[in-house]
Amino acid sequence: MSDIPLPAQFRHQMAQQLGADYAAFLASLQQSPPISIRVNPQKMALPTADLEPVLWCSEGFYLPERPVFTLDPLFQAGAFYVQEASSMLVAEALRQTARLKRPLRVLDLCAAPGGKSTLLASLLNADSLLVCNEVIRSRIPVLKENMEKWGHPNVVISNHDPEDFKSLNGFFDVVLVDAPCSGEGLFRKDPEAMLEWSPDSVVFCAARQQRILTAATPLLCDDGLLLYSTCTYNDEENSQNAAWLSKHGFENVPLDLPESWGIAEKTLDQTVGYQCYPHRVTGEGFFLSVFKKKQRSSPEMGVPRSFRSLKPVRNWQEKILKTFLKNSDAFSFYVKPNEDVFAIPETLSADLRVLDAALHNKGFGLEMGTFKGDDFIPSHALALSNALAENLPGIELSKEDALRYFKKENLVLNEPVKGWLLARYNGLNLGWLKGVGNRVNNYLPKEWRIRMDIKEY
């Protein structure tokens, strides 16, 4: 399949790790990677009855072949996320170990591009808080776009080094460290990853993961859950870091996974982790281990009385804003110094004030839009939000017109319309249009515009 040869030391390592299974492992690397998606339970528009399910995630499905996702309006609307199947194991791990019916404070510490964050958003109770953090600034836009498409208003996106979270010690119920790793599990899907692999890079990744885990562990409350995952097979990273956690105040939590799923158990110093191999599961390489915090040391946290740089909106503005939301009394509305208007879920106000004081580079709440004089210009995030009112005017587009919408073309309608309209496809909101006579202006943000030629599809 790939012209890039497997590194010799990697072959040696896997032969030792897999023994009699090594030949089957090598053969699986010659096969095409399976294509899988996870549907958005808040935006059920994709028929899944004929699709093969992912065994460990009720919202995960395999596709018979890879379509051009960019040219699928349902993908652009956030109806599904394209996610490698093995990594959906996080869903089963949380289902078995976390109290998902309760509101939880959850941190996805290494979040971009947002695969696990969208999964977490779907799993959590509606009053939960999800902080999606990514240290590399250039990866924030894709994370933000994916979270906006997913549509949950209870999300904070931050751009910090894990060590910057220090003042939030004891704050979170769940922390996911989906750590940057040597990427051995992606060699089939992304052969270029082999070019970056070396024994030295494994040592570097293992040490970096330990640094991230060292910063992550104090952030958990008593009995809080830490999920550590990678997309590698390397024991120097996976098992050794998992065993290290067991020696540093964490109790390893075993999962009950049916043998028929084919997921291997790996144990080092009585610490168990779960490894997906491509010759045993329909998916790529992935490792996961779950821990519960043993120490009893959660500090009391002061809650600031107000947000640092947000001001409440005016009453007349609030009246307009409320017409756009389903459950509008559940939100309070604020304006930023740059005039952007936000809706903040009341239930999370105290938590968000704590985060506001603790983190500098972050965005939270539902981005509503801006006021230009008396006019309100709704944001694209609002159009895609699950909190948007259902009775707003909209227009159902054909697939061709939906794609023209994503090309940012202006559409011509048969009937004249005036004011804000939602562009819809299969009942899902795609974004805003504004009617001016027979023409409707297209308010898709230019950075969301698709560049592909839509003619051939």
Ligand X SMILES: C[S@@+](CC[C@H](N)C(=O)[O-])C[C@H]1O[C@@H](n2cnc3c(N)ncnc32)[C@H](O)[C@@H]1O
Closer by beta carbon to ligand X, 110 or else 129: 110
Q: Does 285 bind ligand X (CB under 6 A)?
A: no
The span of 69-77, 107-115, 249-257, 370-378 binding ligand X (CB under 6 A) equals: 107-115
The span of 105-113, 244-252, 286-294, 335-343 binding ligand X (CB under 6 A) equals: 105-113
**156, 132 Cβ separation under 8 angstroms:** yes
Does an H or E element contain 178, and which?
Answer: strand 172-178
Q: Does 148 bind ligand X (CB under 6 A)?
A: no
Q: Does 136 bind ligand X (CB under 6 A)?
A: yes
What is the identity of the amino acid at 346?
E
Q: Does 175 bind ligand X (CB under 6 A)?
A: no
Q: Does 111 bind ligand X (CB under 6 A)?
A: yes
Report CA-CA distances (Å) from 131 to 3, 46, 247.
40, 28, 27
Strand spans (E) along 27-171: 35-39, 52-53, 60-63, 80-82, 105-108, 129-133, 155-158
Q: Is 21 annotated as a binding residue?
A: no
Q: Does 57 bind ligand X (CB under 6 A)?
A: no
The span of 44-52, 104-112, 276-284, 297-305 binding ligand X (CB under 6 A) equals: 104-112
Q: Is 45 annotated as a binding residue?
A: no
Retrieve residue 341's tokens. 């208007």
Share of the chain residues as helix, strand and coil, in percent rounded to the nearest 5: 35, 30, 40
Report CA-CA distances (Å) from 377 to 311, 421, 443.
19, 12, 9
Q: How many residues does the chain have?
A: 457
Q: Does 180 bind ligand X (CB under 6 A)?
A: yes
Q: Is 221 annotated as a binding residue?
A: no
Q: Is 116 annotated as a binding residue?
A: yes
Closer by beta carbon to ligand X, 116 or else 149: 116
Q: How far apart are CA 218 and CA 294, in angstroms?
A: 11
**Which of residues 95, 208, 248, 407 is near ligand X by CB under 6 A?**
208
Closer by beta carbon to ligand X, 110 or else 123: 110
The active-site residue, picked from 181, 205, 221, 231, is 231
Count the neighbouring beta carbons within 10 Å of the beta carbon of residue 327: 12
Of the candidates 398, 395, 410, 399, the one whose C-alpha atom is nearest the C-alpha of residue 449 is: 410
**Which of residues 155, 212, 226, 227 is near ligand X by CB under 6 A?**
212
Give 319-381 as a 3 state SS string: HHHHCCECCHHHEEEEECCCCEEEEEEHHHHHHHHHHHHHCCCEEECEEEEEEECCEEEECHH
Q: Does 116 bind ligand X (CB under 6 A)?
A: yes
**Which of residues 33, 60, 114, 185 is near ligand X by CB under 6 A?**
114
**Which of residues 71, 79, 110, 206 is near ligand X by CB under 6 A?**
110
First to last CA, the chain: 27
Question: Least distance (Å) from ligand X to the CB of residue 339?
Answer: 31
Q: Does 178 bind ligand X (CB under 6 A)?
A: yes
205: annotated active-site residue: no
**Which of residues 60, 113, 153, 369 is near ligand X by CB under 6 A?**
113
Question: Least distance (Å) from ligand X to the CB of residue 354?
Answer: 21
Chain residues that interact with ligand X, rule: CB under 6 A: 110-116, 134-136, 139, 162, 178, 180, 208, 212
Provide the annotated binding site: 110-116, 134, 161, 178
Q: Which residues are catalytic?
A: 231
